[in-house]
Structure 1
Amino acid sequence: MRAVTAHSTDWAGAGHTVSFGQFAVGGDKVPEPEPAQAVGRSAEAVESDDTVRVGGDGFRYTFGKTARPGACGPPRPRTSTSSI
C-alpha cells in the first residue's frame, strides 16, 4: 500500500510517496506488530500558543501550529529537529 501526493506542492511533486507499508492478505486477521519495548527513558511534550515541543533523552522536535509567513496553499504544521 502507498500514500502519494495527489498534486504538486512546494516540497514534493505529484505522485511523491509520502508513506508505504506491506501486510499479509487473506485469512481472518492481519498480524499486529509487536509492542515497542520500554527502554527506561521517557519523553515530554510542552505546548505553547504557537508550538508543541516534544523531547527526551538526546532528541527534541518542535512543531509549529501555523504555516510560515508567505507560504502558498493551506496552512500546514512546521517541524524542526535539534540534537540536545
Structure 2
Amino acid sequence: GFIVSWPIAYTLLSICKGKSQNFFSYAWRSIVITIPVVYFFGVIGFMLVTGTPLWAALTAAMFPYIPGDIVKCLVAAWLATKIKI
C-alpha cells in the first residue's frame, strides 16, 4: 500500500505545486497532500495484508511515523527552496 501511494502522492503534489516557491508553501503542501495520501493507501494495504482492524493498523503503521514524516517534509521543502525547484 505504501509503495503504491508514492506515485499518487507526488503526482498530486506536483499538480498542486503552485507558483509560490518559498519554504512555507512547499512545506504546507507536502504535509497536507502527501502524508494523508501515503497513509491512506498504506494503512489500507497494511490492514489487507495483516488482517488487523483499523485502530491496530493506525497504531502500528501510521502514528509512530508521522513526526518523522513531517521532519522529512520540512527538509524536502528547505532543499527545494535552495535548489530552486
TM category (shorter chain) comes to: under 0.3
User: Quick one: higher RCO (CA 8 Å, sep 6+), 1 or 2?
Assistant: 2
TM-score (structure 1 length as normaliser) = 0.23
TM-score (structure 2 length as normaliser) = 0.22
| Greater strand content | 1
Larger radius of gyration: 1
